[in-house]
Amino acid sequence: MEKTINRWWVVFGAILIQLCLGAIYAWSVFTPALKAAGWSKLETQIVFAVGLATFAVVMVFAGAKLQKWGPRYLALLGGITLGCGYLIAGLSGGTSFWGVCLGVGLIGGAGIGFGYVVPIAVGMRWFPEHKGMITGLAVAGFGFGAMGWVKAAGSWGNLIDTIGLSQTFMLYGLAFATLVTIGSIWMKMPPAGWKPAGYESPEQKAGSGGEEFQVDEMLKSPQFYLIFLTFAVSAGAGLMSIGLMKLYPMEALQASGYSSLEANSIAGTAMAVFFSIANGIGRIVWGSLSDKLGRKNAVMYMAGSQGMILLFFTSMAGQEYLLYLGAALIGFNFGGNFALFPALTADEFGNGAVGKNYPLVFLSYGIGGILFPVLGGVLGDMGNFPIAFSICGVACLVGAVAVAMVFPPHRDEAHQPFSVHGFLHHAHIFDHDKKDDLF
């Protein structure tokens, strides 16, 4: 019998990889220096949006190639591509819009797309009994990584001030390629037929993760589009917040009487410490909670609470401690997306098919990553940051309602014409089989 590795090494490798892939969330640390070099607020958000969109599109391709190429190769490809992207941004001078957009946005985003699906798919196969928790752990590094890269470039390491944007980009590129290469060592699926001691495979029934949907079958289901919508608005709102978490609070704080230096320090702390740490913690906590509450209920609570927080954030951004609280709550809920939606996809459309199916769901992240950050940049240039956050808040509340209508699909229904009456008949606000866990 083939010898198996300790499955916790898989978690270590996954976190190491995600620490680097999460660099895209550190983008806001570069925006003040780029603005000082003559960039507009919209240009800073375009690079961010290009990275997010490329990430999502390439992830679909990577998911389709996962079985053929293998997880270790895909992870390695992702790390090298990401590293090369940042090297190109640095070699272009660090302040060239097209050089940075190509390197960090297009090539760097592609590298993240190649690598991101690997820890999720591999982790679920090694920990089938704790899908929510292990997905949260696997992607926690993506959230925590932002804090490290932000602080290294900013107030702790002072890399941007010391060696400049160009050298900082290149140094990050080398670090990303090296660390992801190390993490890829443990990216290997368990042997055929392996399962944890005492674990029984799920029954072939709807919503259990045991009924496998092909991509075309999933695309015919209304559940896919409801999940897609919710992920797009929930993730998109958080992505806009990331892009503006330094620019908007700096303006709000100065309007409240803080000096420029004080506002810069407070806004940087809100993003690099409170948002980033809560982002990582939210992935683990929401993932673990979903194993108890039911995946749909957890998503509904997360999206609904995020909507309310975003609506109140405009009155919090100008006060130091309220800003810290708001940044932490937004980060906490935002992080939950990346633990909950892979697990919800596995529950609805099959555990074994998640590597192929989740990248299609994740396209919503790319759509949200284009629309909402660009919306924030446009409204910011117009002096209307508060309106942008309010629009995002309402969108999240709509998403909570949409996911409330998700019900377990059946593969035989995927081959039948869609019926609104049948959909409404099956739709429930709560997962009835999870009610006992709620009360």
DSSP notation for 3-53? ----HHHHHHHHHHHHHHHGGGGGGGGTHHHHHHTT--HHHHHHHHHHHHH
Reported as a single tens digit per residue, the pLDDT across 59-69 is 999 998 998 99
**In this model, does residue 437 exceed pLDDT 80?**
no
Look at 269 and 394; give whichever has higher pLDDT. Answer: 394
Q: What is the DSSP letter of 103?
A: I
The yes-or-no verdict on residue 403 having pLDDT over 80 is: yes
Q: What is the mean pLDDT of the chain?
A: 86
The larger pLDDT score, comparing residue 208 to residue 109, is at 109
Q: Which two tokens stand for residue 213?
A: 């949907």
For 164-203, b/e burial (b = at least 16 CB within 10 A) is ebbebbbbbbebbbebbbebbebbbbbeeeeeeeeeeebe
Quick check: 174 pLDDT over 80?
yes
Query: What SS3 class is residue 410?
Result: coil
Distance CA 239, CA 236 (A): 5
pLDDT digits (tens, 9 = 90+) for 90-122: 999 999 999 999 999 999 999 999 999 899 889
Alpha-carbon distance 160 to 108, whole Å?
A: 19
The reported pLDDT for the residue numbered 310 is 96
- Chain centroid, CA 140 distance in Å: 10
Q: Is the pLDDT of residue 88 over 60?
A: yes
Decide which of 323 and 5 is more confident: 323
- DSSP alpha helix (H) spans, 245-351: 247-255, 260-269, 276-293, 295-313, 320-349
Query: In the CATH hierarchy, which fold is given to the domain comprising 7-189+213-438?
Result: Growth Hormone; Chain: A; (1.20.1250)
Neighbours of 428 (CB within 10 A): 12
Confidence of residue 205 (pLDDT cuts 50, 70, 90): low
pLDDT band for 398, please (50, 70, 90 cuts). very high
Element (H, E) at 275: none
Residue owning tokens 């790319």: 366
The answer to whether the beta carbons of residues 67 and 56 sit under 8 Å apart is no
What is the crossing angle of helices 222-244 and 41-69, to 10°? 140
433 pLDDT above the threshold of 50 = no
Reduced to 3 states (helix: H, G, I; strand: E, B; else coil), residue 232 is: helix
Instruction: Return the pLDDT at 160.
Output: 92
Residue 370: Cβ within 10 Å count: 21
- State the DSSP code for 384: -
Average confidence (pLDDT) over 15-20: 92
Residue positions counted in the chain:
439
**Cβ proximity of 18 and 75 under 8 Å:** no
- Average pLDDT score over residue span 251-259: 89
